[in-house]
Copies of this chain bind each other. A is one copy, B any other.
Amino acid sequence: MTKDRLYIFDTTLRDGAQTAGIEFSLEDKISIAALLEELGVDYIEGGYPGANPVDTEFFSEKRTRRATFTAFGMTKRAGRSAANDPGVQALLNSRADAACFVAKAWDHQVRVALEISLEDNLDNLRDTVAAAVASGKEALVDCEHFFDGFKANPDYAKACIVTALEAGARWVVLCDTNGGTMPSEIRDIVGQVLAVAPGDRLGIHAHDDTGQAVANTLAAVEAGVRQIQGTLNGIGERCGNANLITIIPTLVLKSAFADRFETSIDVARLERLTSISRAFDDRLNRAPARQAPYVGASAFATKAGIHASALLKDFSTYEHIPPESVGNERSIMVSQQAGKSNLLTALARHGIELAKDDSRLERLLATVKEREARGYSYDGADASFAVLARRVLGTLPDFFQVENYRASVERRHNAQGEEVTVTEAVVKIRVEDELLMSVAEGNGPVNALDLAMRKDLGKYSSRIEDLVLVDFKVRILDGGTGAVTRVLVESRDGTGERWHTIGVSPNIIDASFEALYESITYKLLKTEAAQATTT
Contacts and interface: CB of A to CB of B under 8 A. Distances in A.
Contact of A317 (B25, B178, B303): B178
B444 A314 contact: no
A182 interface: yes
A142 B479 CA distance: 35
Contact of A321 (B180, B331, B405): B180
Interface stretch (A62-70, A213-221, A453-461): A213-221
A102 B306 CA distance: 11
A445 interface: yes
Give this chain's copy count.
2
A20 B222 CA distance: 34
Given A23-B377, A291-B239, A299 B473 contact: no
A291 B211 CA distance: 10
Nearest to A476: B472
Contact of A183 (B215, B413, B444): B215
By secondary structure, the A interface counts as mixed
A404 B410 contact: yes
Interface in A240-297: 240, 243, 246-247, 250, 254, 256, 285, 287, 290-294, 296-297
A20 B380 contact: yes
A210 B314 contact: no
A494 interface: no
Contact of A509 (B292, B300, B319, B409): B409
A41 to B, nearest CB: 18
B285 A211 contact: no
A183 to B, nearest CB: 6
Interface residues of A, number: 118
Nearest to A254: B182
Contact of A410 (B319, B406, B409): B406
A153 interface: no
A210 B510 CA distance: 40
A497 interface: no
A80 interface: no
19 contacts: A21-B380, A25-B477, A109-B317, A178-B317, A182-B256, A183-B183, A184-B256, A208-B293, A211-B293, A238-B298, A239-B299, A406-B410, A411-B513, A444-B507, A444-B509, A445-B508, A473-B474, A473-B475, A473-B476
Which 8 A-B pairs give the minimum distances between C-beta atoms?
A180-B320, A215-B215, A474-B474, A21-B380, A408-B408, A443-B506, A211-B246, A211-B214
